[in-house]
Amino acid sequence: MAAGWISKELAVILVPVITLISGFIIGYLAQRTGFCAIGGFRDYFMFRHTRLLLGFISMLCTAFVAFLAFHLLTPGAFEHFPWILSSGILSSMPGAPPDLSTTAYIILALVGGFGIGVIGVYSGGCPLRQFVMASEGNLKSVWFIAGMAVGSVVFYLATTGVVKMILSSLGV
């Protein structure tokens, strides 16, 4: 393993502190700018407004740069970064359930992504926007977050078994 700029012992303390500070900064900026990833696509396709969409693109670029910076600081904190380059584009993501095939991962990602997109459009914002609105006192957003937490568990338990069964019956 390559040595980083800081030791792994210091990284155990420093990375969570930097992450917490980054979370406060991201939350503040999301609240002040009205950031919403799903709203960015909605506004672009319906009205050709790009303000929120550019915020989403800049968030992706910033996240990649931040992960790269953390990886340079301490490679042990992100052993599989970037996992697409180290394991292949069709490999399972680190931390994902180990007993699923690549096809199952793709199906679950497409179904889950489509579901969160549709629900995000109907609820008026992406999950990050719902967290921001809940912190501003919006009770509907609090219920959205609770439903999202319960729904993610139900989705995993319900669809994983179904996808496994379908794929095994197809011989995949």
Write the pLDDT tens digit of every residue in 5-35. 777 777 778 878 888 998 899 889 888 988 8
- For residue 95, the model assigns a pLDDT of 65
Write the pLDDT tens digit of every residue in 53-87. 898 898 889 888 887 877 777 766 666 666 666 66
> Radius of gyration over alpha carbons of the chain, in Å?
19
Query: Residue 106: is its pLDDT beyond 90?
Result: no
Which band of pLDDT confidence, cut at 50, 70 and 90, is reported for residue 1?
Answer: very low
- More confident: 45 or 89: 45
Q: Is 2 helix (H, G, I), strand (E, B) or coil?
A: coil
E strands in 87-168: none
Which two structure tokens, joined as six digits, stand for 142?
């609090």
Q: CB 154: neighbour CB atoms within 10 A?
A: 11
Q: How many residues does the chain have?
A: 172
- For residue 142, the model assigns a pLDDT of 93
Element (H, E) at 87: helix 83-87
Mean pLDDT of the chain: 82
The pTM assigned to this predicted structure is 0.70
Q: Residue ranges of the domains in the chain?
A: 1-79, 88-172
Tally of CA atoms within 13 A in the half-sphere of 4 that contains its CB: 20
Q: How far does CA 5 lie from the centroid of its chain?
A: 27
Which two structure tokens, joined as six digits, stand for 102?
């690549």
Tracing tokens 């989403």 back to the chain, one arrives at 56
- For residue 168, the model assigns a pLDDT of 83
Percent of the chain past pLDDT 70, that is, above it, reads 85
